């Protein structure tokens, strides 16, 4: 339909309409006349429709109220009174995205679906949740999602429990996360940015039910809302639905939710704090040093939103980054990184050195400011500027966000101005800013930015984070003593009340919703589901004696070329060097080009060249697998010749003997792995446990797991003595891997891209070895180690599992429905709702691996016991046809996650290497669609056999694991 500015459509007045070429879309800004709600509509032909509603939610203190409220509104509402409508939607909708997010100043509730009927259903549940939640009448919601006193018996120790409480204990275990929180606190002492919207575990128990409901009443009103619609949906019907079903029930009111500006400082502030490290660790070299600058605001100079992002990459992220190089050369610390947070009203530019010492703080400051002044005086290398602008522009135009819906990215970007009462399209129209920034190639544009926002900016801070042994234990003891003291102050009647409230909460959690209540959640029918599996284009060609997989997909003139080298010829002792090699390539010099110039060449002529490792397990075979070193690259069709020149140069001419640079990269890699272990402990624990019984996982553990971290630690500590050996091994592994035999190349793009690729391919083929090498023998010793992996984390990640093929069972698509039920029914209730962990998941793979794993979990034994209880749960499993339909739809939704063109090419390649045919994928889908309750019950014996193996692993808090040491075979200090 045609819209006219000033006209009203179903209560929404059209304020502005325009084309945005960058998005190939029409945008419309509406205001709902009666309620005052704002609405942004982005119309295009994208069938992955997005809806979101957000609210300005400035926190007043550190009790986590905005975050706990975000969880709690999704725990039942007026029309949908189930205890967990959010989970019911994940189980039984075709959503391509469904979540809620709390930021420093806003809370948003986004969803996406390709199915129009499903989209409206999801929108209905979300709108009812935010405007009419059950949290007013059910205080148990705050107790469960936020915090409560837990006391099962009068004699027990009093404890705190709650989903957000444990989530934030995990978040506060990450030193990088703690640093970023302290940076905001240091720069914004007088505004809401100076407190933690997610909640500090120390202060979360201060939150009361009255404060909780008052916050919702004040901020969750249409007059304080920001509604978003995106894609090819029927906008008129959507506006009518939102207006008639929800917004017309409210009148416009004045809400004071404005985000206040922090007054600039007259001089740099200095702030210090400690973070916990393991008792066996050394405090020496465990300091973070950071310099942080408030860089203008997001609304008066929108150009800076993009320009400072490019500047941060230029100074600190690119391999040629001059500030990073200066800090690394000064040997102040072992890792250097930066960040530019432009998601808040006053963006923050940070320069961070990790693994340093507080004694280096003045040197750190001196190196930073001297380097910046020299760059202003002498000028920044124009090639570096061109490279950083080009790679940013490439990413903006490509707009490849992986599986993340584009509409959601545009919504979050629009909120960077809209939330502060400015044009929501301000940061979406990037062309005008980009053209101004490109003037930097002939002017001193970036030098002026450095001068204004960094050198002469007194609204800044130095934040120092020192590693402290015993701090976690000290905090834990203080909490224990506080609770003991509180319990001692209570009368017997008050203690009994806590025992009763604990019991009542558990009863509520364990009591299933009635059929009538569950049926309030809208559900699609199986007839709404596509019966055929998506066809992924793949044609096998031979080019110059090499197998090429061609994926003829529209990519808007961007070529995605992945070169997969066989890594199974590498000797078992050298396996970790495959990952080390992939990290080094492209980041050290070649015989022709130094590494800074090489980085510039890559960024000027391509969309990126990345080296990585991957392991492809063979279909339904836990013993056979294919390890690969993969060169992932992308470029415009016109740049394919230069792309192949650069790849050939890196593969054939890399200098591994740059000892100084090699040491720097190993130190940085070790630092990033430390971050990964603390931030993604569930993945680390799951990988570790599968290495006990799966040869493929044992290989992966040596290339990306804790074993690999231990390898890095060993070579980093003794680098000076081991350097020659490391260089020799890198050369050796490089010669083995870069071989024409067993090479597979994947090309995603249209016909003209393939033609250009085939023409340039000899440049790479000609420099590869052709020697026929035997496969190395990998006879890994597989043993049930049942380890406790000790860290300074405040929470645990508990994994248990085994391989069902080893036990004589075969894979079936019906297992994917079992996975949905196990994850979203059993583990959600037992591990998250009742256990207080932030998450609990099941993973079931074609290779036969079954793993149950928890995320940010306060427990150890209790979670292992919960896993053991799944057998009884499945044995007694009952579900109506409607419930089975729900589980099937949720499973199909997971299978049908949207794929970008590059992801389709990679997925098709993976299926080919693993030996998974289109027919087998179709069979799997049909098995999912035909799953019955009896099929699920039939898995009881399989699960029983898995659980009987008693194979588990726990990564987490050192004290908590040692308190349960009798259940473990080995205790391993991860970072020692």
Active site residues: 70, 145
Question: Residue for token digits 């459509």?
Answer: 9
DSSP annotation of 621 reads: -
Q: Are 43 and 22 a contacting pair, CB within 8 Å?
A: no
Q: Alpha-carbon Rg of the chain, whole angstroms?
A: 28
Half-sphere exposure of 445 (CA within 13 A, CB side): 21
Beta bridge partners of 356: 287
The whole-angstrom separation of Cα 399 and Cα 22 is 10
The whole-angstrom separation of Cα 272 and Cα 463 is 6
CA distances, 685 to each of 263, 782, 974 (Å): 45, 16, 12
The whole-angstrom separation of Cα 399 and Cα 357 is 40
Q: How many CB atoms lie within 10 A of CB 937?
A: 15
The whole-angstrom separation of Cα 270 and Cα 461 is 6
Nearest to 338 by CA among 357, 351, 355: 351
Residues 67-105: b if buried by 16+ CB within 10 A, e if exposed = bbbbbbbbbbbebbbbbbbbbbbbbbbbbbbbbbebbbb
Backbone angles phi, psi at 348, to 5 degrees: -125, 130
Nearest to 747 by CA among 536, 534, 538, 535: 538
Is the backbone of residue 748 left (phi > 0), alpha (psi -120 to 50) or beta?
Answer: beta
The whole-angstrom separation of Cα 149 and Cα 494 is 12
The whole-angstrom separation of Cα 120 and Cα 421 is 28
The whole-angstrom separation of Cα 844 and Cα 816 is 7
Q: Are 631 and 611 a contacting pair, CB within 8 Å?
A: yes
CA distances, 226 to each of 13, 40, 317 (Å): 15, 8, 34
DSSP of 274-292:
EEEE-TTS-STT-EEEEEE
Question: Which pair of structure tokens corresponds to residue 37?
Answer: 């709600």
Q: Are 225 and 216 a contacting pair, CB within 8 Å?
A: no
CA distances, 346 to each of 382, 429, 811 (Å): 29, 20, 53
The whole-angstrom separation of Cα 693 and Cα 849 is 9
627 Cβ partners below 8 Å, 6+ apart?
566, 567, 568, 570, 578, 613, 614, 615, 616, 699, 703
Question: Residue for token digits 């915090």?
Answer: 147
Burial (CB count <10 Å: 0-12, 13-18, 19+), residue 454: buried
Nearest to 321 by CA among 385, 394, 392: 385
Question: Which pair of structure tokens corresponds to residue 101?
Answer: 């997010």
Q: Are 648 and 655 a contacting pair, CB within 8 Å?
A: no
Check the CA dihedral 290-294-298-303 and report its sign. negative
Q: Are 511 and 160 a contacting pair, CB within 8 Å?
A: no
The whole-angstrom separation of Cα 620 and Cα 388 is 44
Residues 743-762: b if buried by 16+ CB within 10 A, e if exposed = bbbbbbbbeebbebbbebbe
């Amino acid at each position: 339909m045609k819209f006219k500015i000033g006209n009203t459509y179903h209560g929404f007045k059209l304020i502005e309409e325009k084309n945005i070429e960058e998005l190939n879309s029409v945008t419309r800004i509406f205001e709902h006349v009666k309620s005052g709600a704002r609405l942004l509509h982005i119309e295009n032909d994208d069938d992955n429709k997005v809806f979101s509603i957000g609210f300005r939610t400035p926190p007043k203190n550190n009790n986590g109220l905005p975050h706990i409220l975000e969880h709690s509104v999704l725990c039942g509402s007026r029309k949908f009174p189930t205890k967990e409508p959010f989970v019911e939607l994940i189980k039984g909708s075709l959503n391509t995205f469904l979540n809620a997010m709390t930021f420093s100043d806003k809370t948003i509730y986004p969803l996406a679906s390709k199915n129009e009927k499903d989209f409206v259903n999801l929108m209905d549940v979300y709108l009812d949740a935010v405007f009419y939640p059950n949290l007013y009448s059910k205080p148990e919601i705050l107790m469960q999602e936020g915090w409560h006193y837990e006391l099962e018996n009068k004699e027990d120790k009093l404890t705190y429990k709650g989903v957000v409480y444990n989530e934030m204990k995990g978040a506060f275990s990450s030193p990088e996360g703690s640093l970023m929180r302290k940076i905001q606190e240091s720069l914004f002492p007088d505004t809401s940015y100076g407190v933690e919207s997610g909640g500090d575990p120390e202060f979360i128990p201060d939150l009361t039910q009255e404060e909780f409901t008052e916050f919702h009443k004040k901020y969750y009103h249409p007059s304080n809302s920001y509604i978003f619609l995106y894609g090819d949906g029927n906008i008129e019907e959507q506006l009518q639905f939102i207006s008639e079903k929800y917004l017309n029930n409210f009148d416009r009111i004045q809400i004071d939710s404005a985000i206040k500006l922090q007054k600039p400082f007259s001089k740099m502030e200095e702030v210090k704090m400690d973070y916990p490290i393991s008792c066996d660790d050394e405090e020496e070299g465990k300091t973070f040093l950071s310099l942080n600058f408030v860089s203008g605001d997001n609304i008066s100079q929108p150009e800076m939103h993009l320009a400072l992002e490019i500047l941060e990459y230029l100074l600190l992220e690119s391999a040629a980054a001059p500030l990073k190089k200066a800090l690394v050369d000064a040997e102040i610390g072992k890792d250097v990184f930066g960040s530019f947070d432009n998601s808040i009203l006053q963006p923050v530019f940070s320069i961070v050195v990790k693994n340093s010492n507080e004694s280096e703080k003045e040197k750190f400051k001196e190196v930073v400011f001297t380097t910046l002044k020299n760059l202003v005086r002498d000028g920044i290398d124009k090639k570096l500027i061109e490279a950083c602008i080009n790679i940013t522009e490439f990413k903006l135009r490509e707009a490849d966000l992986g599986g993340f819906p584009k509409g959601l990215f545009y919504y979050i970007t629009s909120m960077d101005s809209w939330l502060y009462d400015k044009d929501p399209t301000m940061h979406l129209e990037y062309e005008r800013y980009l053209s101004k920034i490109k003037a930097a190639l002939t002017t001193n544009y970036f030098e002026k930015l450095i001068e204004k926002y960094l050198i002469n900016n007194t609204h800044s801070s130095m934040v120092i984070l020192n590693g402290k042994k015993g701090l976690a234990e000290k905090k834990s003891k203080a909490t224990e003593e506080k609770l003991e003291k509180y319990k001692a102050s209570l009368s017997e009647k008050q203690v009994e009340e806590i025992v009763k409230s604990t019991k009542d909460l558990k009863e509520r959690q364990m009591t299933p919703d009635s059929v009538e209540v569950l049926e309030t959640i809208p559900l699609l029918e199986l007839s709404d589901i596509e019966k055929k599996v998506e066809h992924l284009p793949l044609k096998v060609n031979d080019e110059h004696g090499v197998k090429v997989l061609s994926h003829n997909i529209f990519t808007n003139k961007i070529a995605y070329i992945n070169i997969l080298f066989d890594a199974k010829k590498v000797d078992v002792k050298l396996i970790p060097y495959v990952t080390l090699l992939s990290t080094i390539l492209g980041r050290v010099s070649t015989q022709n080009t130094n590494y800074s110039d090489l980085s510039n060449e890559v960024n000027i002529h391509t969309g990126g060249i990345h080296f990585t490792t991957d392991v492809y397990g063979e279909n339904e075979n836990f013993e056979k697998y294919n390890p690969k070193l993969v060169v992932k690259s992308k470029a415009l069709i016109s740049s394919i010749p230069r792309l192949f020149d650069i790849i050939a140069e890196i593969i054939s001419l890399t200098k591994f003997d740059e000892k100084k640079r090699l040491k720097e990269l190993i130190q940085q890699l070790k630092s990033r792995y430390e971050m990964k272990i603390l931030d993604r402990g569930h993945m680390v624990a799951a990988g570790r446990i599968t290495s006990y019984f799966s040869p493929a996982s044992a290989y992966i553990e040596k290339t990306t797991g804790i074993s690999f971290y231990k390898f890095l630690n060993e070579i980093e500590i003794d680098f000076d003595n081991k350097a020659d050996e490391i260089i020799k091994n890198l050369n050796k592994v490089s010669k083995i891997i870069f071989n024409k035999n067993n090479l597979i190349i994947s090309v995603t793009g249209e016909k003209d891209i393939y033609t250009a690729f085939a023409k340039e391919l000899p440049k790479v083929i000609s420099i590869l070895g052709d020697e026929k090498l035997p496969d190395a023998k990998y006879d890994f010793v597989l043993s049930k180690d049942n380890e406790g992996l000790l860290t300074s984390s405040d929470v645990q990640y508990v994994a248990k599992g085994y391989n069902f093929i080893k036990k004589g069972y075969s894979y079936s698509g019906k297992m994917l429905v079992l996975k949905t039920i196990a994850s979203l029914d059993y583990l959600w209730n037992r591990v998250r709702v009742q256990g207080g962990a932030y998450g609990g998941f099941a993973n079931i793979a074609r290779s036969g691996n079954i793993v149950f794993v928890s995320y940010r979990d306060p427990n150890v034994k209790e979670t292992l016991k919960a896993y053991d209880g799944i057998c009884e749960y499945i044995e007694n499993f009952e579900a109506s046809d409607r419930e089975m339909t729900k589980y099937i739809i949720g499973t199909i939704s997971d299978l049908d996650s949207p794929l970008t063109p590059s992801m389709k090419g990679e997925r098709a390649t993976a299926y080919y290497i693993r030996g998974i045919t289109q027919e087998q994928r179709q069979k799997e889908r049909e098995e999912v669609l035909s799953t019955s309750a009896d099929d699920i019950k039939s898995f009881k014996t399989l699960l029983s056999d898995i659980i009987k193996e008693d194979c588990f692993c726990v990564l987490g808090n050192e004290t908590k694991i040692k308190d349960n040491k009798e259940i473990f075979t080995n205790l391993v200090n991860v970072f020692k």
